Structure 1
Amino acid sequence: MKVTVITLVHGRHAHLAAQQQALLRSSQLPDDYVLVAMDDPEIAASFPDPRLPGTVVELPRTGTALPLAKARNAGARAALQRGADLLLFLDVDCLPGTDLVAGYAAAAKDDAVAARLLCGPVTYLEPPGPGGYCLDRLQDLDSPHPARPAPQPDEIIPEDNPDLFWSLSFAVTAATWDRIGGFCEDYTGYGGEDTDYARLAGQAGAGLAWVGAARAYHQFHPTQDPPVQHLADIVRNANLFHARWGTWPMGGWLQGFRELGLIKGGHGTTPCTLTDQMGQPA
């Protein structure tokens, strides 16, 4: 089985370098590594690490929002053209645990779960010390996000709630990817496109499976809760999701925006609308 790691990149070069150092510590190295550089021409000149076989896919940005859904499809397309059997999507901020690659690969060989979207627990890390994170001791920092299942390393738990899917760390066989058909490229920027993909997967008969061995560690970076820096993207994508599925995604964020007076609607049948100029695209 040829396992290909796919990572989308726009900036975050230090995080990407750390991810590659962590990959090199894997109990099973990936067979291929596809980086999708979204409007980031520096990636091809500096990455991937020469000890990791791989390639860079250049994807220019059109408009103001990063094409995350389109980039995932482009990464998958390149990986499949290079012979991938298992597509392993890993967010640029995520450090793979030692057994992440091996854990996903083993799960993909298990007939009971191979046709599902394979998801791994993710720990959100505190800021690193002056020397950065100790990549040889990531397991000591293990504290998976409580909003998602976190099986023990020797467990795999099937799950059919598509709203629990996240794109930080997941794997899908080539056959299942083809059956689902990829991400909807009508989504641009941050938010909603991964929940939409899980709904498409459910329509295609592919639920989720949480793989305890496939642990990842999300490197710290400053953010806001709710993520007002992505307000315009989230409002646009929430309206698109509601038009496609009849329900609202990202409910906690939308509620947070309403409480801050930044949006109206986004519940029932009322569309989301911005009320503050900070939400307008630049």
Structure 2
Amino acid sequence: MERSLTRITVAAATRQRPRMLADLLQSLQGLDVPQGAELSFVFVENDVILSISGLVDDFHKRTGWPARAVHEPRQGISYARNAIIDAATEDGADWLAFIDDDEHVRHDWLRLLWAGAKDANAQLAGGPVVPVAPAMGCSENETEVLAYYERAAKVSNMRKEVAMTSGRRFDIGAGNWIADLSAINVGNLRFDPDFGLSGGEDTDFSRRAYKAGLTLAWVPQAIVTEEVARARLSTAYIVERARAQTITKFQIMMAESPKTAKINALAQILSKGASGLLRIASWPIFGRYSYHRGYRSLGIAQGLLAGLRGESQARYTQVTGD
């Protein structure tokens, strides 16, 4: 019997963050059900044991929505996200929405995200992730780092809006996106396990989806918030995160343009290194945002140099948050 409603599966991968997952579930239970749709939920635990079944069962009892916990013991975010795709496919989902376990959604998030995808005739659509303070609060220095993250997120979101309007390619992060599952499966698109511990698997997926002919869309109204763990609210973390992300981006550059990637990397090492030092030195004039952005530039330069040396990054072996 043919279904009269479109099935949307909302999913998240999680690892050793039970409090954050519980907070996410609390926000999800207030979701508006989009007109013409029915909801189901999949939560994949990427750890040696499955411990989230109780949380997921309680969520199902509170909401009445189908929800299941899936175990993926192979460590790596790519394995977890691929397990989500497989589970949603088994459940007969038409659309698949990704959210991260350290995020909160507004009641209209899914409705706006799906509507934006359909309005743009897109098979993959994303929305903004807005950083917010950790539940336990933060110090003055940590608040300054959080302000940097907030401003950087606004700049990134604006660039995506401009890129979509002008018809240029842009990348969509899996912390807030929705995909036409049939298009994903027809294109045989999955997250690359080579990026499972380094991060950047969603950037790689987004670019391969674009190359496969999928239409991408940006939905600025479909906002989620991300609780930033205190361990991430430091200049040292800004540098390390930029370094790790850039190693992955260099690997993507090598795959896309092997003849020019190394030359471009050398040029960027010089430019990012110089601009980073200049921004740090001039922060009394331009403020703390310039200071933190300067350290990010140095992290990018370090990441490109590490990539040229053949180094890899295992950023996702360490869990931040609780």
TM value normalised by structure 2: 0.66
Q: Secondary structure at the match of 1:31?
A: strand
Structure 1 position 34 matched with structure 2 position 47: no
Q: How many residues align?
A: 250
Q: What's the offset of the Cα at 1:13?
A: 1.1
Matched residue, 1:136: none
Partners in 2 of 1:201 and 1:60 — Cα distance?
Answer: 26
Q: Which has the higher helix share?
A: 2
Structure 2: which 5+ residue stretches go unaligned? 1-5, 138-149, 273-294
Q: What's the offset of the Cα at 1:118?
A: 0.6
Structure 1 position 124 matched with structure 2 position 166: no
Alignment of 1:1-282 (within 5 A): 1-28=6-33, 31-39=39-47, 40-48=49-57, 49-50=59-60, 51=63, 52-61=65-74, 66-110=75-119, 112-115=120-123, 117-128=124-135, 145-149=153-157, 161-180=168-187, 181-222=189-230, 223=232, 224-227=237-240, 237-238=248-249, 240-246=251-257, 247=261, 255-257=297-299, 264-266=305-307, 270-273=308-311
Q: Answer whether contact 1:121 1:150 (CA < 8 A) is retained.
A: no
Matched residue, 1:154: none
Q: What's the offset of the Cα at 1:55?
A: 0.9
Q: What's the offset of the Cα at 1:97?
A: 1.4
Partners in 2 of 1:234 and 1:124 — Cα distance?
Answer: 18
Q: What's the offset of the Cα at 1:243?
A: 3.5
Structure 1: which 5+ residue stretches go unaligned? 131-141, 152-156
Q: What's the offset of the Cα at 1:149?
A: 2.8
Q: In structure 2, do the counterparts of structure 1 residues 28 and 203 end up closer, same or farther at CA, with 3 Å as the change threshold?
A: same
Q: What's the offset of the Cα at 1:245?
A: 1.8
For residues 17-76 of structure 1, the C-alpha deviation after alignment (integer angstroms, 9 at most, x for no partner) is 111111111222761110111015211233251224211110113xxxx31112111101
Q: In structure 2, do the counterparts of structure 1 residues 162 and 41 end up closer, same or farther at CA, with 3 Å as the change threshold?
A: farther
Partners in 2 of 1:188 and 1:236 — Cα distance?
Answer: 13
Q: In structure 2, do the counterparts of structure 1 residues 198 and 158 end up closer, same or farther at CA, with 3 Å as the change threshold?
A: farther
Partners in 1 of 2:23 and 2:165 — Cα distance?
Answer: 31
| Structure label with greater radius of gyration | 2
Q: Answer whether contact 2:78 2:192 (CA < 8 A) is retained.
A: yes
Letter of the 1:245 counterpart: E
Letter of the 1:244 counterpart: A
Q: In structure 2, do the counterparts of structure 1 residues 265 and 21 end up closer, same or farther at CA, with 3 Å as the change threshold?
A: closer
For residues 233-275 of structure 1, the C-alpha deviation after alignment (integer angstroms, 9 at most, x for no partner) is 65764554244223589x989853376x688343xxx34438x
Q: What's the offset of the Cα at 1:90?
A: 0.4
CA RMSD in angstroms, aligned pairs only:
3.6
Partners in 2 of 1:53 and 1:143 — Cα distance?
Answer: 37
Q: What's the offset of the Cα at 1:125?
A: 0.6
Q: Secondary structure at the match of 1:147?
A: helix
Partners in 1 of 2:209 and 2:297 — Cα distance?
Answer: 27
